[in-house]
Amino acid sequence: MLMTFKEIIALAAGQLGTKTKVYIVLGAIALVISLVALGSAWSHFTIRGLEHKVSELRKTADNKEAIADAKEKEAEQYRLKAERLEGSLAEIQKIARIQDENISIFERDVVSGARRNSADARGIRALESTGDQLCEKLAELGHGCD
């Protein structure tokens, strides 16, 4: 003979007095209130812990944001410096090209002048003259021999 839980409760309820039933109901209510209070305390404790973690994470995020802002400013300064140096480099390269062109022109002129002078020197006959004759010529020009 197997009885269901409902039948057991009904049988027990019939055998219990009114005072006992009231105590059982009050105990059940106290148990429910205790469980609700315990759950509320646990959730409050958990929420406070999470709020503390959120606060710490916000502080960390603020610090990292400040560091990131400083690094961005530093990067901007380096970018501006790089742009300035690139401009200076472009100017220096332009000056170097102009100087290379001038040197090339100068070398052409010097080489062609030297060739011309060399050709002229080859075309001149050597004249024989004595030291006295040279002194006379120099004296005529105002630079006499002493």
Give the range with max mean pLDDT: 6-15, 82-91, 113-122: 82-91
Q: What is the DSSP letter of 66?
A: H
**Confidence category of residue 79, pLDDT binned at 50, 70, 90:** very high
* 6 or 92: which leads in pLDDT: 92
Q: How far is CA 65 from CA 37, 62, 68, 70, in A?
A: 41, 5, 5, 9
* 22 or 100: which leads in pLDDT: 100
Cβ 138 vs Cβ 144: under 8 Å: yes
Cβ 145 vs Cβ 138: under 8 Å: yes
| pLDDT tens by residue, 82-104 | 999 999 999 999 999 999 999 88
Percent of residues, the chain, with pLDDT higher than 70? 82
Distance from the Cα of residue 23 to its chain's centroid: 74
pTM of the model: 0.43
Cβ 145 vs Cβ 139: under 8 Å: yes
Cβ 109 vs Cβ 102: under 8 Å: no
